Amino acid sequence: MSSFRTPRGYVVAGVAAAVLLTGCGSDSLGGDTGADDAAGVAGGPVDIGLLVPTSGVYAPLGEDMEQGFRLFLDQNDGKLGGREANIHVVDEGESPDTGVPGAQRLVQQQVDAVVGIVNSGTALGVRDLFEESQIPLIIANAGADAITGERKSDYVWRTSFSNGAVAAPLGTYVAENCESAFLVAADYAAGKEATAAFEKTFTAAGGNVAGSVYPPFGTTTNYQPFLAQITQSGADCVYTFFAGAEAVAFTKQYRELGVTAALYSSGFLTEGGVLTAAGEAAVGVETSLHYSDQLDNERNTEFVEAYQAAYDEAPTVYAVQAYDAAQALDQALADGAETGAEIVDGLQGIDTIDSPRGEFGFDDGHGPDQTYYLRKVESKDGGLINTVVQELDAS
């Protein structure tokens, strides 16, 4: 059975040449051309591109996403919507420089849908590609606000969050305990959007921003100069956005340099392997997020157990977002959808996704309508956990 359909006659400008030049067009993705594929037989296998980082500072996030996606398949006989699912993993890398060509390869190879994308810049960079090629994209992490806002597309869906939606309710909460905040975040779309949303609600609730700084993304390993600015500002608290390897380095150096301001963040600072690597330095950090493996609901308990059994570690928000992308595709493909437009119709018809984070539906921008939680890092049984403290007020 083929992995790929007969090309739909769509040509991605500049992509064919790029694929030939790099030799990517002749890898295993393009080798399988069964006759039933060309005929588009309903119920035949479905080809899904998994575009996740397997290199760069966000590589651990990509691993979690792949694990989450594959867990759903393992639980469902390797099928989505009753159809055998062929998964084609392509490295997103760290930035749009690698992520956009990765998406172009998958589109060129005519997968039925693509899932993944960690980096907001990559999501923004590929949005038009998916709209024009009419191949559905389910973003399972990248939070770029515009993707489910002013640049929403019929073909682009998201099972994760928007950067502003995670940060905004935290700003309101932090203002209850902190008069003056310093903002520090990775210098790219996600860090900028998160700090902007935090600043908006924090100042609206009476807080004052003492200063802000944006360390270069992907290359900063020494945060000392930026941490010195925080101390000099005299701020009572800090709001930050970092993830992956950057989150570990930032949190450890924050403690090593003895910064005393209370540390608040979007929850990526303390997820999974990052939390383990940061260790004691992360204790007491308060974050906002739409998931914690500590969430007390039946679906999550069963999910955590299954994930733990499969991978010998606790799931992260990245794993859940990808698991839910698989659940969304499962529903969208269930009625025999074949073309991109039919898959989109299937996505449109979804009422709720039974997620470990709690049930959610898609809003008008195709992003999840969900609850955000305040979490606090605590020690438990010799390890560290993100205790769920309360729901955050999103208004």
Q: What residues line the site for ligand PHB (CB under 6 A)?
A: 61, 118-120, 141-144, 163, 190, 243, 268
Least Cβ distance, residue 61 to ligand PHB (angstroms): 6
Q: 251: part of which helix (H) or strand (E)?
A: helix 244-256
User: Sign of the CA dihedral 381, 314, 388, 192?
Assistant: positive
Shortest distance (Å) from residue 188 CB to ligand PHB:
7
Q: How far is the CB of 38 from ligand PHB (least distance, A)?
A: 37
Classify each residue of 197-227 as buried b or exposed e, where b means 16 or more C-beta atoms within 10 Å of its C-beta.
bbbebbeeeebebbebbbbebbebeebeebb
The Cα–Cα gap between 238 and 236 comes to 7
Judge contact between 171 and 200, C-beta under 8 A: yes
Q: Which C-beta is closer to ligand PHB: that of 19 or that of 263? A: 263
Q: Which of 157, 169, 140, 154 is nearest to 288 (CA)?
A: 169
Among left, alpha and beta (phi > 0; psi -120 to 50; other), residue 108 is alpha
- Judged by beta carbon, residue 104 or residue 163, the one nearer ligand PHB is 163
- Cα separation of 222 and 250, whole Å? 8
* Residue of this chain nearest to ligand PHB (CB atom): 243
Residue 119 or 220 having the CB closest to ligand PHB? 119
Measured from the CB atom, the residue of 63 and 236 that comes closer to ligand PHB is 63
**CB of 162 or CB of 172, closer to ligand PHB:** 162
Amino acid at 237: C
Question: Looking at beta carbons only, is 24 or 166 nearer to ligand PHB?
Answer: 166
Q: Shortest distance, CB of residue 144 to ligand PHB, whole angstroms?
A: 6
CB of 166 to ligand PHB, least distance (A): 8
Q: How far is the CB of 135 from ligand PHB (least distance, A)?
A: 21
